């Protein structure tokens, strides 16, 4: 689908790599430009999996690894030559680093007027906090998300996934696709300044809009919803189930399902406004019904009456679920050291497109191949660059990519 699009990725760990992962899943050739030490996501002490890091195995699948020392003049020149035939350059260095290395947007545009560049940072390339260090947890806290995540009487809570990192990567991918389309329509390369903070501020969504226009701040509700009842998890005899009666038709169906039609006319629960005002009463009545039932019994009953619901699944339940499997959301690739590695692919499903299954690369696995294919260098020239420290070559040599 994106065959013919070449991305040079200087990103590290998650925020600077996840956008490239999505692009690789859509068929772009993503060439991961790594320093001699490699992407820090390769650190096997973080999310360790049989001597590798699960972060690297997930975030770098489908990419080719080329080791270049950009502080080496010859290594930098190799990078410039690669840029001349590329479409996109992605990084997540701190503001100013690309300028110091001589690979900022303006410098690269002088080499390739059509180049699209994207930089993902914690706080953005402008503003008083541009130089502040950031990780996912810092951005989750600063953006306000942690303040209203968690139980009402508990402390702030982090979203389980690295939401800020992933959001930064997703918006980076969207920015790149928009810039590529804009280039086709109007010509010329563009630069995308993607901030993880901006991404999460945007994802405050309607709660942010509500506060800006009413002054009402969203508060911690646990699994419940500030504006709708019932919309939360309920304890069952063997777990938890969420039940969502957002619209009145679902509320009426729910009352029929549990044989409590009296709640339809009860002034404490006859519409959503009343149910929000009398949350404890409504939740208590429903909780008493669900508590002695099994999770399976509740979900079967809800499904029978067309009421949105779901069990609160753990990881094992999700990744073995028949529907998830049928939808192709568990796949595998062959890794040269680990053998089969199972993973969750990008969720896009487009007609006439088969997502590739390519492994996360070994460090420098494709240096020689890329320099040969793209720059026409022979083995003697590549060996000379390696001897000078300009490039790095992997010990492993795959027979086929």
| Residue bearing tokens 């949105």 | 308
- Whether 165 is a known active-site residue: answer yes
- HSE of 58, CA atoms in CB hemisphere, 13 A: 17
Please count the residues of the chain: 401
* Helix boundaries (H) for 230-294: 248-257, 262-265, 272-277, 279-290
Backbone angles phi, psi at 89, to 5 degrees: -125, 125
Residue 204 structure tokens: 């405050």
Task: Tell me if residue 70 falls in helix, strand or coil.
Answer: coil
Q: Are the CB atoms for 24 and 61 separated by under 8 Å?
A: yes
Record the tokens describing residue 244, joined without a space.
């969502």
Distances in whole angstroms, Cα of residue 87 to Cα of each of 29, 47, 74, 178, 241: 10, 32, 22, 13, 47
Place of tokens 């890091």: 53
Alpha helices (H) along 1-156? 18-25, 54-59, 73-84, 97-101, 105-111, 136-142
Q: Which residues pair with 339 in a beta bridge?
A: 335
Q: Which of 165, 193, 266, 303 is catalytic?
A: 165
Q: Is 245 helix (H, G, I), strand (E, B) or coil?
A: coil
Interaxial angle between packed helices 367-375 and 73-84, expressed in degrees from 0 to 180 and rounded to the nearest 10: 60
**Residue 396: how many other CB atoms lie within 10 Å:** 12
Within 10 A of 302 (CB to CB), how many other CB atoms are there? 24
Q: Are 192 and 118 within 8 A, CB to CB? A: yes
Query: To 5 degrees, how large is the angle CA 184–CA 347–CA 123?
Result: 70
Q: What is the CA radius of gyration of the chain?
A: 25
DSSP for 127-144, written as a single string: STTTT----HHHHHHHTT
Q: Which residues are catalytic?
A: 165
């Amino acid at each position: 689908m994106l065959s013919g699009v070449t991305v040079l990725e200087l990103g590290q760990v998650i925020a600077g790599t996840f956008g490239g992962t999505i692009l690789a899943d859509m068929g772009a050739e993503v060439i991961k430009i790594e320093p001699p030490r490699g992407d820090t996501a390769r650190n096997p002490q973080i999310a360790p999996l049989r001597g590798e890091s699960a972060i690297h195995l997930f975030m770098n699948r489908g990419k080719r690894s080329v080791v270049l020392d950009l502080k080496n003049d010859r290594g930098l020149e190799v990078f410039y030559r690669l840029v001349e035939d590329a479409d996109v350059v992605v990084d997540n260095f701190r503001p100013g680093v690309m300028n110091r290395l001589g690979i900022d947007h303006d410098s690269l545009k002088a080499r390739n007027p059509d180049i699209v560049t994207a930089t993902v940072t914690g706080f953005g390339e402008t503003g008083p906090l541009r130089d502040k260090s950031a990780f996912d947890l810092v951005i989750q806290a600063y953006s306000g998300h942690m303040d209203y995540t968690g139980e009402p009487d508990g402390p702030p809570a982090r979203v389980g996934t690295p939401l800020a990192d992933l959001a930064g990567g997703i918006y980076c991918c969207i920015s790149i696709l928009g810039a590529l389309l804009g280039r086709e329509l109007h010509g010329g390369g563009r630069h995308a300044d993607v901030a993880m903070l901006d991404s999460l501020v945007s994802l405050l969504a309607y709660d942010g809009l509500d506060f800006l226009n009413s002054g009402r701040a969203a508060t911690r509700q646990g699994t419940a919803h500030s504006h709708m009842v019932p919309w939360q998890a309920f304890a069952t005899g063997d777990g938890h189930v969420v039940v969502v009666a957002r619209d009145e038709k679902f509320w009426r169906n729910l009352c029929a399902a549990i044989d409590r039609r009296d709640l339809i006319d009860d002034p404490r629960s006859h519409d959503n406004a009343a149910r929000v005002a009398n949350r404890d009463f409504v939740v208590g009545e429903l909780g008493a019904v669900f508590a002695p039932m099994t999770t399976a019994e509740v979900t079967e009953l809800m499904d029978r009456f067309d009421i949105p619901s779901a069990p609160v699944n753990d990881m094992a339940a999700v990744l073995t679920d028949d529907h998830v499997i049928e939808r192709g959301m568990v796949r595998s690739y062959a890794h040269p050291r680990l053998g089969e590695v199972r993973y969750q692919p990008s969720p896009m499903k487009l007609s006439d497109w088969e997502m590739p299954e390519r492994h996360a690369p070994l460090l420098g696995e494709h240096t020689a191949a890329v320099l040969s294919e793209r720059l026409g260098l022979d083995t003697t020239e590549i060996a000379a660059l390696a001897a000078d420290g300009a490039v790095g070559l992997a010990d492993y040599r795959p027979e086929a990519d």
